[in-house]
Amino acid sequence: MANLAYHVTEAKTFNANNSDVKYDMVLVHDSSYPKVHLKTLKDMGVRLLHVDDSIKHAACDGLKNTTMEVDCTAAISLERKVNYEAPEFLIQIMKLHVFTMKEYDAIFSFDTDAYLKDLHEVKDITLRYLKTKFSLIANQRGLSPVNAGYFVGRPNSKAIEIWLKDIKAGFTEKNGWANYGPIAHTWPRLWRNPIHRNEIGGWTFLGADRDQGLLFHIFALQLQSLGLTNGHLWYGYDKHVPIPKVAGTTFLNRDWNLYVRHLFSTPKPWDEDACKDVKHEQFVYFTRAMLPAVRENFEHHKIPMLQQCLSRFLNNNEVCK
């Protein structure tokens, strides 16, 4: 809610001062999202993109090919108290629904733990993207061939077709999505989990069984049209090991930057004790950016959830100093 309050405020300001490019803020949601919150978001100016339950049912059926023991009823309703892993899985793979939005020239997707630093910079990178051949441009780190936390792409009916086939067919660590088969490279997870080491050819990289694996399978292996930023970086404890280059991907020049702050693999600013065990700068950046918009929208709409965010943000901002 806080993230949307911030970005819809930024988009309104940007749109009022730009005639050539306009942004809409869109929330991808399912039927479990409280209707009262959806109404509030709509009143704030957020567009809503509903994911039909039939898609979640198809994905839940596909889970039979994973290692997860799933209560599908709980997973469909996204009841995390019953089973955390399955609802988290469904939430992450549903983000690919954004490629159905044919009314847009480009789509800039980002998770709730990320925010766009400057829409003018985002405008420049989006217009630059539209001049390329790539179906998708995303960031890359050594833990996975693609980071699904944020990316820029186009509406893509072919990608949607493959996505639906993938989630219906399911995933295995041996052959990946829709029984694709082994892959040529591996991405270590040594610093994250010293016990877990990828097997050559296996789909065991971070997020392989959800959004990151889907984006990799669809846009690199199937469509052969994935552009990657940060391809020049190294990974792992051995700084002389380059990030693997895979067929269907292109490493972009270093001047490509998607201008996103992403708090991946860390506590979030709205968590209690967010500053306790991590460097504080990222939380200060995040909370200071969002505080004015959260306060403004709370004062206008009187949303209890925003009041909770405001209190938590103010507390963390004070503690993190």
Provide mean pLDDT across the span 254-272.
Answer: 72
**DSSP E strands, 91-179:** 107-110, 114-116, 136-141, 144-153, 171-172, 176-177
Task: Give the tokens for residue 55.
Answer: 């898609």
How much of the chain exceeds pLDDT 90, in percent?
Answer: 29
CB 231 within 8 A of CB 244: no
For residues 102 and 70, which has the higher predicted lDDT (pLDDT)?
102
Q: Residue 291: which H helix or E strand, with range?
A: helix 281-301
CB 171 within 8 A of CB 209: yes
Q: How far is CA 237 from CA 46, 71, 143, 152, in A?
A: 43, 39, 12, 30
32-36, 94-98, 190-194, 199-203: the lowest-pLDDT one: 190-194
According to DSSP, residue 234 is labeled B
In terms of Cα–Cα distance, which of 111, 95, 127, 97 is closest to 23? 127
The pLDDT of residue 194 is 39
Q: How far is CA 19 from CA 10, 14, 123, 137, in A?
A: 15, 9, 12, 25
Residue 186: pLDDT band by 50, 70, 90 thresholds?
Answer: low
CB 119 within 8 A of CB 190: no
CB 111 within 8 A of CB 96: no
- What's the whole-number average pLDDT of the chain? 77
The length of the chain in residues reads 321
According to DSSP, residue 145 is labeled E
Q: Is the pLDDT of residue 33 over 70?
A: yes
The pLDDT of residue 294 is 66
pLDDT, tens digit (0-9, with 9 covering 90-100), for 145-184: 888 989 999 999 999 999 999 999 989 888 899 999 988 7
The pLDDT of residue 59 is 84
Provide mean pLDDT across the span 186-204.
Answer: 54
Instruction: Give the number of C-alpha atoms closer than 13 A to the C-alpha of residue 37, restricted to the C-beta side.
Output: 14
